[in-house]
Structure 1
Amino acid sequence: MAGDIRLIVQGDDFGMCHAVNVGTIQAFREGILTQASTMAACPWFTEAAALARESGIPLGVHQTLTCEWNFLRWRPLTNGASLVGDDGTFLRTVDAAQASITHDDSVRELSAQVAKFAAEGLSIDYLDVHMGQSAEESAYDEVSNAAGKPFIYGPVESQRFASIVTLSDREADGKKAWMLDHIAGLTPGVHLLVTHCAAAHPELAAMTSPGTYTYRWAEEYRLSDQEIVTDPEIRKAIEERGIELVSMRNAFTD
């Protein structure tokens, strides 16, 4: 490897809403973000696709079989009955999805999500999941094998990383100190840092009800992630340690 320590900084949920799209591209252009896990079944995917073509941001398929919000809801690209609740949108939790979704319905839906990238003229570098694995492991294996790209949270592929850590669900007032400590402690190898970036916009707080288990994920975690990923002191700390910022496109190349 050219660098002893390589760091992937991933932005999840690209395509979910306008604020996430704007924040993700800003974090890529002005900050340390190196790739975006992108949701083809979501209403703002078309804008995300246009921004990706313009910016060249490396993309992964954020395989989506759930929708956690009260007011922002999205539907499958396919018509599998086991994928949806009574309102015709995805189920709200991973547990509910696991109890309902059949292997065949999940493979058809996830394959359709992959195909939507190609329809937009976009290439992909990896696949991962939104919220957690909502289908059988074999479904993700089948889809990633057909796409010819790694499923990075699979039992084999995940072992290639020296660490996989999420920044988002940490208290905002301690997030920068945690990030600086994390950078200082990185060891040789490829590390994955998962973030959820977004630009400040009223739509974030409007996605779901206050007091719900996902409420802090709607706005609070995303705005504090945005601050960290675009903070010049964070970039300086990375540069001073000689850490190479990479994406799945080049993380495991010599």
Structure 2
Amino acid sequence: MSLAQDLGYGADDRLLLINADDYGVCHSVNTAVQQLLTEGVISSATIMMPCGWAREAAHWSAAHPQFDVGVHLTLTSEWEPYSWGPVTQNGDVSSLTTDEGYFHPDVRSFEEHAESSQVKQELIHQIEKAIKLGVSPSHADNHMGSLYGLQTGKHFMPEVLDICAAYGLPFRLPRYVQVESGGIAPPELEAQARAIAALADSKGVVILDYLLGLSFQLQKGETFASFKSDMQQLLTTLKPGVTEVIIHPSHLTDELNAFHREPVKRGMELQIFRDADVRKTIEEQGIKLIRWSDLQRLQRSRASSN
């Protein structure tokens, strides 16, 4: 059976998760994510536990357990004016940091330096920190794709999947690499994706069928109207199965402008699924919105039956 059928839907149904990444990175992102969760226009969000505003995000989420919130496993720190480092306090995670003690600023540097045992230790501590702050994580995913081996081929998927199995968390991993517009993973990773999907299955971790998103950067000449048109087009191309679309919403504030290179696009992403035309496209296409907690219940029921 397909994942959609295991969730109680038909084999031809198109199921959509909309996740807001980078929850906790700053207050402006937190208020935007909380607005979208409250309005019911996104499925979930994931918190960057090493960031300065993660505590606010976690406490709000703990007070509003009806919304799905997961952990955005974070091992890179990409903004020059604003940096963060490991949450691990007792243990050696020096391979994960620069000489200043912050995470490496890009994925390649992370892959080249990171030791798997230290990666696993830090990921566990990030999940544990969320739990200690009152969050009941619905799933896990990964900031900047640092764990997938996208730059050098050095990935950390066995470690991640072991952790997700232990904590009962489904994980953002596409079973199929979609090479058409909107695909996040490059086509050369198709064989690796199949192998890692098989590994996830063997460990009992529920993963996605497809992972999609539009450019996180503002394109030359891009307007909200063109961004909306691109999103509507993307939605019409969804295939049967479970797809996640990633956004990074924020309110536009001095705080965001102080460190972020793409504030305008973040504002567009705040509005995109609030837009009546986009919501109409979802309805007209017969796309069914689901939640990560649906996948989590499936994963945990499989584990209990085994």
TM-score of Structure 1 vs Structure 2, range by shorter chain: 0.7 to 0.9
TM-score normalised according to structure 1 size: 0.88
Matched, 1:67 2:77: yes
Tell me by how many angstroms 1:187 deviates.
3.2
Q: Any residues of structure 2 matched to 1:96-245 within 5 Å, and which? A: 96-134=109-147, 136-153=156-173, 155-156=196-197, 161-169=208-216, 171=219, 172-173=222-223, 174-208=226-260, 215-216=261-262, 219-245=263-289
Tell me by how many angstroms 1:80 deviates.
1.2
| Residue 212 (structure 1) aligns with | none
Structure 2: how far apart are the matches of 1:252 and 1:242?
Answer: 24
- When Rg is computed on C-alpha atoms for both structures, the one with the higher figure is 2
When the two chains are superposed, the root-mean-square deviation of aligned CA atoms in Å is: 2.3
| Residue 40 (structure 1) aligns with | 49
The question of whether the paired residues in 2 share the 8 Å contact of 1:32 and 1:245 is answered with no
Moved over 3 A (4+): 157-162, 251-254
SS in 1 for 2:171: coil
Structure 1 gap ranges (5+): 209-214
TM-score normalised according to structure 2 size: 0.74
Tell me by how many angstroms 1:233 deviates.
2.0
* Alignment CA distance shift 1:139-1:2 (3 Å): closer
Tell me by how many angstroms 1:160 deviates.
5.3
Which amino acid letter does the alignment assign opposite residue 143 of structure 1? I
Which amino acid letter does the alignment assign opposite residue 228 of structure 2? K
Tell me by how many angstroms 1:251 deviates.
5.0
* Alignment CA distance shift 1:190-1:145 (3 Å): same
Structure 1: how far apart are the matches of 2:102 and 2:160?
Answer: 21
Structure 2: how far apart are the matches of 1:115 and 1:121?
Answer: 10
Structure 2 gap ranges (5+): 1-7, 148-154, 175-195, 299-306
* Alignment CA distance shift 1:29-1:227 (3 Å): same
Of structures 1 and 2, the one with the larger relative CO (CA 8 A, separation 6+) is 1
| Residue 22 (structure 2) aligns with | 13
- Cα deviations by residue, 1:27-66 (Å, 9 ceiling, x for unpaired): 2222521111211111111110122133332012111111
Deviates more, 1:62-71 or 1:183-192: 183-192
